[in-house]
Amino acid sequence: MTRSPHEFVGILGWPLDHTLSPVLHAAAFRALKIPWVYLTWPVHPDDLGRAVEGLRVLGARGANVTMPHKESVVPFLDALSPDAEAIGAVNTIHEVAGKLIGHNTDVSGFAAAFEEGTGVSPQGEDCLVLGAGGSARAVVRSLATQGARSVAVAARDVSKAAEVASIAQGEGLPWNEAPENLAAHKIIVNCTPLGMAGEDPLDGAPLGPEHVVFDLIYAPPHTPLVDRARAGGATASGGLGMLVHQAADALRIWTGSEAPIGMMSAAAVHAVAPSHSLPGPNEV
C-alpha cells in the first residue's frame, strides 16, 4: 500500500461525546510539524470487529481504544505487547506491515505521571488500589513492574478485586475495609470515578505525611481525596499527568518521534477548564 504523507489515526469508543485525545494529539502533530490527522470513531460494541477491520482496509496507522472496548478489542488484533497481554486490555493499536498490534500505554503513562506528580518510587512500598476496572488493571501492572512490595485492591465485588490484584500477586479486599487498611499502605491510588461527583472514596479516613495519594481523575483537577490528603500532610497528585503521558507514549509508538510533552500538557490544562464536561478517570 502506498501511503499518503497525510497519515491518520483516531479513537474507538462508545459513546465518544467527550474525549480529550483529539486535543492532545492535534497539539502534538502541530509541534512535530507532521501532517497527521486524528479522528473520532464512535463504534457500537456490536460493530467493533468490523471497525477494527476497517482500520486495516483504510490504512490507518493506528488507533486509541477507550471504554467499553479496551478488553473486547483483543480478539480482533494480531498480537499484544507484554503489558497488554498481562492485563488483557488495549488502549493503543499500532499498524505494522499490515498487522495490528495492541499496546496498553496506561501502564507506562501511570508510571511516568506518578513519578512526576509525587517524586516517589513505588519500589519496595505497600500499595492500595481503589477500584477494579480497566484503569485499575493497568495501575496494578504498573506498580508491580516498578517493584512494589505488595499491591492490594479494594472493590465492592471482592472476587473482581482479587482477580485484578492477582496481576501483582496481591490480595483483594472488601470495599468497606479500605479505610481501615490505610495504615498498612504507603501508596494509595484511586481508580474509581467517585471524585468526579465530589465524593471521597475513603469516607474521610485519616491520611497523613506517611501517605502518597494519586487520584486518576483529572476533572476536577483537585478532588476531595487529593485536597484532604494534602491538608493532612500527604503527598498527593491528580490524574492529568497520566492522561498526557499515556497519550505521549501512544504517539511515540505510532510515529517513532519523541512526544512534545510540554505542548500536550498545555493543551490538556486548557481543555480541563471548569466549563468543559469531561469523561471519567483517565478514559481517553
Give the model confidence (pLDDT) of 15-54 as tens digits.
Answer: 998 789 999 999 999 999 999 999 999 999 999 999 999 9
Catalytic site residue from 70, 99, 160, 186: 70
96-142 pLDDT, tens digit each: 999 999 999 999 999 999 999 999 999 999 999 999 988 999 999 99
Average pLDDT over residues 85-101: 96
Check pLDDT > 70 for residue 279: no
Q: Cell 494534602: give the residue.
A: 230
Q: Which residues pair with 157 in a beta bridge?
A: none
The answer to whether the beta carbons of residues 134 and 89 sit under 8 Å apart is: yes
Predicted local confidence at residue 19, as pLDDT: 86
Helix, strand, coil percentages in the chain from 3-state DSSP, rounded to 5: 40, 20, 40
Ranges of H-type helices in the chain: 21-32, 48-58, 82-87, 105-118, 134-145, 158-165, 224-231, 240-255, 261-271
In the residue annotation, 70 being an active-site residue is answered as: yes
Task: Decide: pTM greater than 0.85.
Answer: yes
Q: What single-letter DSSP state applies at residue 195?
A: G
Question: In 10 A of CB 254, how many CB atoms?
Answer: 21
Binned at pLDDT 50, 70 and 90, residue 275 comes out as very low
The answer to whether the beta carbons of residues 232 and 208 sit under 8 Å apart is: yes
Predicted local confidence at residue 87, as pLDDT: 94
10 or 19, which is more confident: 10
Predicted local confidence at residue 220, as pLDDT: 85
271 or 80, which is more confident: 80
Predicted local confidence at residue 196, as pLDDT: 86
- How far CA 157 is from CA of 10, 15, 131, 143, 182, in Å, comes to 33, 25, 9, 21, 19
Q: What single-letter DSSP state applies at residue 193?
A: S
- How far CA 106 is from CA of 65, 114, 146, 244, 284, in Å, comes to 11, 12, 14, 10, 10
Average pLDDT over residues 275-283: 51
Walk me through the domains of the chain, giving residue ranges and CATH numbers.
8-103+241-271 (3.40.50.10860), 107-238 (3.40.50.720)
